């Protein structure tokens, strides 16, 4: 029993076997694609090493998004809590629930919070975070959910007005059609009185954007290549990490950063778990992440098309990052 007297719970809707199958499916679909179309979703970056590397990235001088979002949250959490009046806080992709504490504190000060629901794919991370939060917030019901926000929105517990937080600019990792589908599905799940807090990175000078994804010390390059180490470990593959160069490119037309791995010479890797082989031509690239950047008008428009009306927007001079509070217009 936690010191609060309320035992945290963890509901598992995504098992290790399902995660393994998802990796197999993504690799078959993405790495066996024709030349010029190879890709992997960024979820596979985040093994233990990848998570540590990403934490290091957030502290780099070039990487502004995490600091900018945290500053906005710290400055405006009480305003957000007062508008949302949420009895339940849901965080999608919660990880260690670090940023959640800023919102939890504000909602506790507002006197409305009863339940916190962090969702993430990592059961170990959620179990540890849930146990810690159970001791830090007396009386708060922590109901963690191991799942995928693309598939398990309908499994999220609710109760009273619910605030769903989708932070970190993670929505920028989704292609436009995926964003529309996700926001529409979320809007269908929400009721009158519920709200969404969305964190989005903003369009800015291209050189600053590229630097944030290609730092001078090479931490982001190591993070990008680590996805090959994940495949080596999980699929019995034999990728040569030094045989691929890290590439970060700004696509002005699409308004997103692309992270890629470019083959340095012809490369061939055996994936024993899939009983298959993957070949890369010299210079061929593997797309590992997109990170879309937005304008205020675009965020408002995409939310409106998905069934949300914006109730508040917060950024800072210079326009590094944007927090948007929206509610379903049901």
Residue 139 covered by a domain: yes
Residue 244 covered by a domain: no
pLDDT for residue 124: 87
- Report yes or no: 62 and 216 within 8 Å, Cβ to Cβ: yes
pLDDT in tens, 35-50: 889 999 999 998 889 9
- Report yes or no: 96 and 167 within 8 Å, Cβ to Cβ: no
The token duo for 246 is: 């890290």
Q: What backbone torsions phi and psi does residue 121 show, to the nearest 5 degrees?
A: -80, -15
Tally of domains in the chain: 1
Residue 241 covered by a domain: no
Across residues 121-134, what is the average pLDDT?
A: 89
Residue 198 covered by a domain: yes
CA distances from 23 to 26, 61, 225, 273, 317 (A): 5, 33, 17, 11, 41
pLDDT in tens, 206-225: 999 999 999 999 999 999 99
- Report yes or no: 288 and 259 within 8 Å, Cβ to Cβ: yes
Residue 120 covered by a domain: yes
DSSP-assigned letters across all residues of 128-190: HHHHHHHHHSTT-EEEEEES-TTT-GGG----SSEEEEE-TTGGGGS-HHHHHHHHHHHHHH-
Cα-based angle 54, 59, 63 (whole degrees, multiple of 5): 80
How far is Cα 163 from Cα 165, in angstroms, rounded to an integer?
6
How far is Cα 231 from Cα 286, in angstroms, rounded to an integer?
13
Q: Categorize the per-residue pLDDT at 2 as very low, low, confident or very high, splitting at 50, 70 and 90.
A: very low
Beta pairing, strands 141-146 & 115-120: parallel
Q: Which range has the worst mean pLDDT, 5-14, 55-64, 106-115, 135-144?
A: 5-14
Q: Categorize the per-residue pLDDT at 5 as very low, low, confident or very high, splitting at 50, 70 and 90.
A: low
The token duo for 88 is: 């339940």
Q: Which long-range contacts (CB under 8 A, 24 or more apart) does 229-233 make?
A: 229/47, 229/49, 230/44, 230/45, 230/47, 230/50, 231/27, 231/44, 231/269, 231/271, 233/47
pLDDT in tens, 129-151: 999 998 899 899 999 999 999 88
pLDDT for residue 1: 40
- Report yes or no: 86 and 160 within 8 Å, Cβ to Cβ: yes
Residue 276 covered by a domain: no
pLDDT in tens, 300-311: 999 999 999 999
Q: Categorize the per-residue pLDDT at 3 as very low, low, confident or very high, splitting at 50, 70 and 90.
A: very low
The three-class DSSP label of residue 40 is: coil
pLDDT in tens, 39-93: 999 999 988 899 899 999 999 999 999 999 999 999 999 999 999 999 999 999 9
Read off the CATH number of the domain in which 304 is found: 3.40.50.150
Please give the order of strands across the beta sheet that includes 115-120. 9-12, 141-146, 115-120, 88-92, 162-166, 195-201, 321-328, 308-314
Tell the residue number behind the tokens 């030094």, with chain if given.
242
Question: Length of the chain in residues, anyone?
Answer: 330
8-state DSSP, 233: H
Residue 286 covered by a domain: no
DSSP-assigned letters across all residues of 52-116: HHHHHHHTSTT--HHHHHHHHHHHHHHHHHHHH--SEEEEET-TT-TTHHHHHHHHHHHT---EE
Q: What is the number of alpha carbons within 13 Å of residue 296 lying toward its C-beta?
A: 14
pLDDT for residue 264: 98
pTM: 0.94
pLDDT for residue 330: 65
Residue 234 covered by a domain: no
Q: What backbone torsions phi and psi does residue 268 show, to the nearest 5 degrees?
A: -140, 135
Closest to 291 in 3D by CA, of 115, 150, 173: 173
Tell the residue number behind the tokens 């993504």, with chain if given.
26
pLDDT in tens, 260-295: 999 999 999 999 999 999 999 999 999 999 999 999
Alpha helices in 238-308 (DSSP H): 296-305
pLDDT for residue 316: 82
The three-class DSSP label of residue 5 is: coil
Q: What is the dihedral of CA 108, 326, 96, 51, to 10 degrees?
A: -160
**Which domain range does residue 154 map to?**
9-13+63-204+293-328
pLDDT for residue 28: 96
pLDDT in tens, 156-209: 888 889 999 999 999 999 999 999 999 999 998 999 999 999 999 999 999 999
Q: Is it the case that residue 123 has pLDDT exceeding 90?
A: no
């Amino acid at each position: 029993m936690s010191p609060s007297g309320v035992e945290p719970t963890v509901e598992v809707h995504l098992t290790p076997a399902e995660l393994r199958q998802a990796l197999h499916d993504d690799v078959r679909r993405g790495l066996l694609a024709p030349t010029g179309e190879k890709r992997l979703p960024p979820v596979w970056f985040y093994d233990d090493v990848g998570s540590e590397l990403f934490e290091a990235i957030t502290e780099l001088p070039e990487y502004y998004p995490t600091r900018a979002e945290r500053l906005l949250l710290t400055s405006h959490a009480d305003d957000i809590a007062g508008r949302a009046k949420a009895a339940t806080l849901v965080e999608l992709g919660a990880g260690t629930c670090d940023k959640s504490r800023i919102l939890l504190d504000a909602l506790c000060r507002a006197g409305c919070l009863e339940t916190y629901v962090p969702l993430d794919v990592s059961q170990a991370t959620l179990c540890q975070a849930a146990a810690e939060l159970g001791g830090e917030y007396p009386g708060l019901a922590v109901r963690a959910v191991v799942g995928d926000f693309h598939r398990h929105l309908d499994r999220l517990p609710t109760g009273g007005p619910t605030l769903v937080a989708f932070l970190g600019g993670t929505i920028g990792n989704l292609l436009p059609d995926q964003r529309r589908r996700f926001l529409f599905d979320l809007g269908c799940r929400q009721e009158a009185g519920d709200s969404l807090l969305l964190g989005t990175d903003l369009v800015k000078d291209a050189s600053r954007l590229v630097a944030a994804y290609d730092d001078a010390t090479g931490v982001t390059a190591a993070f990008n290549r680590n996805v090959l180490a994940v495949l080596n470990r999980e699929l019995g593959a034999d990728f040569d990490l030094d045989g691929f160069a890290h590439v970060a490119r700004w696509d002005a037309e699409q308004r997103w950063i692309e992270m890629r791995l470019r083959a340095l010479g012809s490369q061939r890797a055996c994936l024993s778990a899939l009983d298959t082989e993957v070949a890369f031509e010299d210079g061929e690239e593997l797309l590992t992440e997109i990170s879309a950047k937005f304008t205020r008008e675009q965020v408002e428009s995409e939310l409106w098309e998905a069934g949300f009306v914006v109730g508040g927007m917060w950024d800072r001079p210079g326009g590094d990052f944007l927090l948007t509070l929206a509610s379903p217009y049901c």
